[in-house]
Amino acid sequence: MIYLLIICLITFLISTTIMIISSTLSKKTILDREEMSPYECGFDPKGSSRLPFSLRFFLIAVIFLIFDVEITLLLPIASIFNLTNVFSWILTSIIFLFILLLGLYYEWNQGALDWSK
């Protein structure tokens, strides 16, 4: 039992000594405010995190994502041309493109694509 206590004590002393030595050696001698910052982008982390956000940019990004998803839905249409009836393929493609162009016209008419504002 005493041997187990001695082994635990030695293990504790060795691990504590190694932690203290590594902590001492890892300290930088020159503490730069930018290097000690958790962010590497150059912005001051102590400033306000509630910066004004452009709602226009957000709306354009959402529209881009919607049209990007619609393009991924258009890609399989070309690959199934040989597998389906030509009439149903053309009808489905035209209806889908019509809905896509109708949505684009609606966004354009509402002024969501006007970037000059």
Domain parsing of the chain, residue ranges = 55-110
CA 17 centroid distance within chain:
42
d(CA 43, CA 28): 22
Q: Residue 17 — pLDDT band, cuts 50, 70, 90?
A: very high
The 10s digit of each residue's pLDDT in 40-68 is 565 555 666 666 777 777 888 888 888 88
Q: State phi, psi for 108 to the nearest 5 degrees.
A: -65, -40
| pTM listed for this prediction | 0.47
Q: Which residue has the higher pLDDT, 25 or 9?
A: 9
On whether the CB atoms of residues 46 and 62 are closer than 8 A, the answer is: no
The better pLDDT of the pair 103, 33 is held by 103
pLDDT average, residue stretch 89-112: 86
pLDDT confidence tier of residue 115, bands split at 50, 70 and 90? low
Q: How far, CA to CA in Å, does 67 sit from each of 8, 23, 73, 107? A: 64, 53, 10, 11
Q: What angle do CA 84, 73, 69 make, to 5 degrees?
A: 175
- Is the pLDDT at 96 greater than 90? The verdict is no
